[in-house]
Amino acid sequence: MTPDARGVSVKGVVAAKAPLVGPRRVSPLKRAAARGKPETAEPADNAPCGGKGATVSRNFILLAGLCALLLGAAAGCKKKPETVDFDRPLPPGAHALRRLVDPEMLPDLMAACPTDDVSRSLLVAAIDRSLDYLAHPSSEAYYPLQGITHAQAVESLTAFRSLLLAACSPQELAQQILDRFDVYQSVGCDDRGAVLFTGYYTPIFEGGLEPSAAYRWPLYRLPPDLVKDGEGLCIGRRLDDGRVVPYPTRRELETGDQLAGLELVYLKDKFDAYICHVQGSARFRLPDGRTFEVGYAGKNAGEYASVGRLLLADEKIKPEEYSLDTIRRYFREHPDEVDPYCQQNESFIFFQESSGGPFGSLGQPVTPYRSLATDKSVFPRGCLTYVDTTVPVREGPHLIGRPFRAFLLDQDTGGAIRAAGRADIYLGIGDEAGRIAGWTAGVGKLYYLFLKADAPPQP
């Protein structure tokens, strides 16, 4: 589960222009047929990412622009860049999804159709996990949502799964999807479809189950006095006399002893422990060679604040060097500043031992590049999505921004993934996944696919 943002503030970032968020004016199947292959793009001019010569395409939101917005204006800029608040909530009564009726607005579905058995099987496995979730009677409580019924969600996934298993060509599959499915687009943050896609991952650290001189910084189990509502959100702390009061903030929890006895696993580095809070899950290599896995169990009600944004605003790191590795290096060099910055993020995550994961908010394992985290108050759980954005790809020593068009399942949520203009892609386990996640920040489009009421029979 991804309880918090990935360290990049999304309020007021530079918005991509029309090529990313505007309508398409060519029929997607005709365009793909003319190319004869899925869409690709040459790398744009590259800006340094920092660290061992890594670079990232300027198809991403420029971090220099982000910093300029945070600090006021970039030196030498003659015109203030256009900004967008991707966290902007929907107006009262508004829906996050809009059914597309203009064929020219439909996405290039063929670009996302699996071309090999491995990618096809991973997508089918992700669909099966959504279907497993929807088979539980408790899932019906979240439907209907914005006109989408529970039965529609199940029927749509089942029909799409059958199309995948028919093993037709990408062009045939795309045409069958268009024939049998309605395509809905997220209205995004601007009512024109602009969505900011970030990435999250599962880190791997060295850890110990007992404190020692090497392992000093704990992750904690869920306290028995934390009271949740029916959605699993923290209401507060239950006192001995039965009263419920606000739950302590990160600063209050870390400077007191109220979590004593709830330690689950210990890390060598305090900021690495903080990273686990941001990502919501982690794996540990124990001294005896075993692997120990933890997952999200709950959180206090504190508001999330981005440590990366705070460091940029204070000019502690340069925007052109911004990355998770840069932030970690800064705190290794300035360990006395970990608490002053991290404790400004009042959100505090609790963990549980969790083998077989990582798990999303649906209680199902998440799949790299096939699972998506969204705001479940505005998007239907477990459903099939089509994502059109940009994600870094490793090419030699560099990370290059490449188009990412794929079918994903809406299987997770996050405390900082709010509103129709935000989504988070699960990118895998380990350091390389972390580097890619740390540089994933692309403006794109988000679509949902639902079986038409009068869909023709499957060929």
> What is the tens place of the pLDDT at every residue in 126-149?
999 999 999 999 999 999 998 899
pLDDT at 99: 95
Q: Which CATH class is domain 11-201+363-451?
A: mainly beta
- DSSP assignment of 290-318: -EEEEEEEEE-SPPP--HHHHHHHTTSS-
Nearest CA to 13 out of 265, 255, 267, 306 is that of 306
Residue 97, strand partner residues: 186
Cα 239 from Cα 245, distance rounded (Å) = 7
Mean pLDDT of the chain: 83
Question: pLDDT higher for 233 or 6?
Answer: 233
User: Residue range 397-409: average pLDDT?
Assistant: 93
pLDDT at 26: 42
pLDDT at 110: 92
User: Residue range 309-331: average pLDDT?
Assistant: 89
Take residue 424 and report the two structure tokens written for it.
């988070």
Banded pLDDT at 14 (limits 50, 70, 90): very low
Do 202-305+322-353 and 11-201+363-451 fall under one CATH topology? no
Take residue 400 and report the two structure tokens written for it.
């290059």
> Residue 221: helix, strand or coil by DSSP?
strand
Residue matched to tokens 């896609």: 197
Domain 202-305+322-353: give its CATH code. Answer: 2.40.240.50
Question: pLDDT higher for 53 or 114?
Answer: 114
Residues 423 and 372: beta-carbon distance below 8 Å: yes
Residues 296 and 1: beta-carbon distance below 8 Å: yes
Residues 19 and 26: beta-carbon distance below 8 Å: no
pLDDT at 322: 80
pLDDT over 70 percentage in the chain: 81
Cα 367 from Cα 387, distance rounded (Å) = 15
Cα 341 from Cα 305, distance rounded (Å) = 9
Question: pLDDT tens across 254-298, in order?
Answer: 999 999 999 999 999 999 999 999 888 999 999 999 999 999 999
Question: pLDDT tens across 335-362, in order?
Answer: 999 999 999 999 999 999 988 889 998 9
Question: pLDDT tens across 213-228, in order?
Answer: 999 999 999 999 999 9
Q: CA 376, 380, 384: angle at the middle one, nearest 5? A: 120
**Of 43-47, 104-108, 169-173, which range is least confident?**
43-47
- Is pLDDT above 90 for 404? yes
Nearest CA to 331 out of 305, 347, 307 is that of 307
pLDDT at 356: 85
- For the chain, report the end-to-end CA distance as a whole number of angstroms: 38
For residue 442, is it left (φ>0), alpha (ψ between -120 and 50) or beta? beta
Nearest CA to 45 out of 36, 55, 35, 53 is that of 55
**Of 38-52, 379-393, 442-456, which range is least confident?**
38-52
* pTM exceeds 0.85 for this model: no
pLDDT at 82: 61
Domain map (residue ranges) of the chain: 11-201+363-451, 202-305+322-353
Cα 418 from Cα 439, distance rounded (Å) = 20
